[in-house]
Amino acid sequence: MFDSITKEAKGKKVVVFLDYDGTLSPIVDDPDKAFMSAEMRMAVREVAKHFPTSIISGRRRERVKEFVQLSNVYYAGSHGLDIMAPPRAVKACDKKGNEGAFQPAKLFLPAIQEMSIELEDTIREIQGARIEDNKFCISVHYRQVPPKDHEMLKEKVKSLVGNRPNFRLTEGKMVLEVRPSIEWNKGDALNYLLDTLGFSNAKDVLPLYIGDDRTDEDAFKVIASRREGFPIIVSSIPKDTIAWFSLRDPSE
């Protein structure tokens, strides 16, 4: 794989996109303890010195930045619904020219906060279930829920979200993701970042995306459709994926 990437990268502008959980950090039972290693942080820092680097996560953008602790990367939280550039980089601007985060679902915030409260009430009695407020989306973690209660939790959440046309439900690794029903995903975030960097129509750009989750497939699709770049999945077992290459785990 590395020989193929090195060969293809000659004379190209390499742009790197990374998921966080399961890619830069191991998957853990407690999402608050998904720490990346010092070695991984150093590796990402070095990559970002040479290539534009973005971290696209389902988590709240500020939380991802707390974990990563690097100032030279782009952070895209909430599955790309909240994007911030590093200092001295190209940034989004409001109508007055003020720099800030790109947040296409900002108008949904009050409804998202209400949904978070409803979800808390819905799963309150289920042992081990946990809500994570990711600002523009809500994660319902059930990794610590007894297996016998998994389907009950899913049905409760599906029933609630199904009655809210402003929201949609997706699934990840032992997590349900409740998102606003805006047509935006990690693939759209990838395209937005390429455009922000001035690479949207460039023929000499080589995007690399490394991720481990179902939500990363949207970004894999974008790279596959460009027919330039490398979608890479992190998984220790074979998966149905659009990715062209695979890594066993974050350490590899």
Cβ–Cβ under 8 Å, residues 243 and 232: yes
Range 39-48 average pLDDT: 97
User: How many C-beta atoms surround the C-beta of residue 102 within 10 A?
Assistant: 19
Distance, in Å, from the CA atom of 56 to the CA atom of 215, rounded to the nearest integer, reads 10
pLDDT tens-digit map of 101-110: 899 999 999 9
Same domain, 207 and 90: yes
pLDDT over 90 (residue 212):
yes
pLDDT tens-digit map of 118-163: 999 999 999 999 999 999 999 999 999 999 999 999 999 999 999 9
| CATH number, position 201 | 3.40.50.1000
Distance, in Å, from the CA atom of 108 to the CA atom of 13, rounded to the nearest integer, reads 36
Question: Looking at the 3D structure of the chain, how many domains does it have?
Answer: 2
- Of the residues 154, 180, 206, the one at which a domain ends: 180
pLDDT tens-digit map of 68-77: 999 999 999 9
Same domain, 40 and 162: no
Q: Which residues form the catalytic set?
A: 19
Name the residue range of residue 174's domain: 106-180
- Of the residues 140, 164, 180, the one at which a domain ends: 180
- Of the residues 161, 180, 199, the one at which a domain ends: 180
